[in-house]
Structure 1
């Protein structure tokens, strides 16, 4: 009997051991009610504190941890290209608007997925492209390109109201804007102007604008920070950059030009990511009330009109300012225009 008891104990331990192995395997493979389980890896160039807050809220709701990998848009795109065949990310969120996402489709690093909340959206609404027509990305918030100004140095009345106003001699040596060869924010500025006025007029415009600038940093947000520090009176950048500084007590405000790029900042599912179900769940989450409220709290314009914007700008108020963006032209000329910047602008 003693031998049999020993055998029973060993058999029992073996069953427990097999059960533990099965449980571990289920965790590794994403056994969480079909939600993808495991963890979700998010690539994002957006403010780390913002993306970490989104990640924490997602984990609170779904019980799935999110690993946030932060870097600049171009760095992340190059990383996803290098990882083709063995992708490490599940979701890519943010990049200064739709342009890098459009280019990513050609590079085959993102795949099709549209959350249920966005299925009935029109592809383009009031001049703003809300999602990709074949479902490769979906907008999560709205960005407006315009002018930040230092309220201690410039009054609202005298601040520029159009892109042509920036060429007034009174702004000479008082403007900052990002380097289009490095910044997606500034590339958008250049391409949108050339779409409206032609390349010849565009190069002439930006040569004069460059002559008026006292600094052209690589970072998209640096000019707005420069305005807050009094290093410049006017900066070109996105709306939320100015409103974040204003909320922190800086002497900065924002002007929406009469005609300007207004575009969504998207999220996309990474092609062949390790946790596609979890990635889809995170994409769904980005359009939820909880995520949209977080974006609004960071002075981003929520794409959900039911969530109140924390800035003076909402989806309804900026639609009349939006210019049509010829996405096909952008895709064909994006790299060429960026490369020609350093050749043509002295």
Structure 2
């Protein structure tokens, strides 16, 4: 019997779509207080809120407190909470898989293997066979541009085109010290071209924000003509709203980001967190990702209309081991080279 306090009609409609396992978690979650706190760097705030509200509509009476921030800020926040023995975060979704490797090693995660973990696309399976973190989203990084400032014939076609002096003072970048997406992007291009690439890029005096999504904000504001680290999902969503932007998938490879989620040990809302992990790996969540121009992790959900899928592109990405070791190195090199 599902817990009372929500309209019987809403409960009946929700129960009809739940698996027996989900019903058990839902009942237990409502007894725990009916809420959870989600720290996420997986997306912009609009997409994160859409996921939170969708979960609430599927499970009446449960509430998701969504805190959208950059990966490094989320990581710092949970490490502070762990040191203080006062964990506020229930589910952590980072865009830096190195965070997951580190926190797992420190015993910071609750082991939980979602039923939906076996239903995602093969490329997103098996990153942690021990069951402490799972890939719950994926996105791509290419090159964006403001169509009012740059003609299509003149746009950079590959990453090394960003080094052309004609883009001096006109490139927007995120910061690897804040954004997990940018950290992986910078590491991928360091693997491909060496750090000399960034030393040359710095000579073009790019405008450096924090979040990778700041690059889209700068394009829309006309502050920059090119998004050198362009988040495909955020950029195409901005295009859909009528903004004069466009996307380039570089010929030398679009960067694919694999982003994991975990339940924090000490979670005060353990069953709600488990149910949320099931949701993040569900068809419903993948449809929301697609609606916001991100990659699907479920085979039942097709790529977003008007966007290219990772499976149809030349993709480049580092290994988990390279990310764990390399991103901290890249952050240090970045600060030395760009001075921020």
TM-score (norm 1): 0.78
SS at match of 1:301: coil
* Match 2:336 to one of 316, 335, 343: 343
1:99 Cα deviation (Å)? 4.1
Task: Report matched runs for 1:113-132 at 5 Å.
Answer: 113-119=112-118, 125=123, 131-132=127-128
Alignment correspondent of 1:101: 100
8 Å contact 2:120–2:297 — kept in the other structure?
no
8 Å contact 2:121–2:299 — kept in the other structure?
no
Is 1:193 aligned with 2:155?
no
Is 1:57 aligned with 2:54?
yes
8 Å contact 1:40–1:278 — kept in the other structure?
yes
Query: Which range moved further: 243-252 or 180-189?
Result: 180-189
Higher-Rg member (1/2): 1
Q: Distance in 1 between matches of 2:81 and 2:92?
A: 14
Q: Distance in 1 between matches of 2:190 and 2:26?
A: 50
8 Å contact 1:90–1:274 — kept in the other structure?
yes
Query: Which range moved further: 221-230 or 242-251?
Result: 221-230
Q: CA offsets, 1:187-242, max 9 Å, x none? A: 22221122234xxx31x211110111341222322222222222222112210121
Q: Distance in 1 between matches of 2:113 and 2:188?
A: 27
User: Relative to 1, partners in 2 of residues 1:187 and 1:317: Cα closer, same or farther, differing over 3 Å?
Assistant: same
User: Relative to 1, partners in 2 of residues 1:149 and 1:103: Cα closer, same or farther, differing over 3 Å?
Assistant: farther
Is 1:243 aligned with 2:236?
yes
Q: Distance in 2 between matches of 1:79 and 1:326?
A: 25
Q: Distance in 2 between matches of 1:163 and 1:137?
A: 32
User: Relative to 1, partners in 2 of residues 1:213 and 1:245: Cα closer, same or farther, differing over 3 Å?
Assistant: farther
* Match 1:80 to one of 78, 81, 92: 78
Is 1:33 aligned with 2:31?
no
1:160 Cα deviation (Å)? 1.6
Alignment correspondent of 2:11: none
8 Å contact 1:148–1:254 — kept in the other structure?
yes
SS at match of 2:154: coil
User: Relative to 1, partners in 2 of residues 1:152 and 1:107: Cα closer, same or farther, differing over 3 Å?
Assistant: farther
Runs of 4+ off more than 6 Å: none
Give ranges in structure 2 of 5+ residues lacking alignment: 1-23
Q: Distance in 1 between matches of 2:210 and 2:87?
A: 28
User: Relative to 1, partners in 2 of residues 1:89 and 1:194: Cα closer, same or farther, differing over 3 Å?
Assistant: same
User: Number of paired residues?
Assistant: 307
Is 1:170 aligned with 2:181?
no
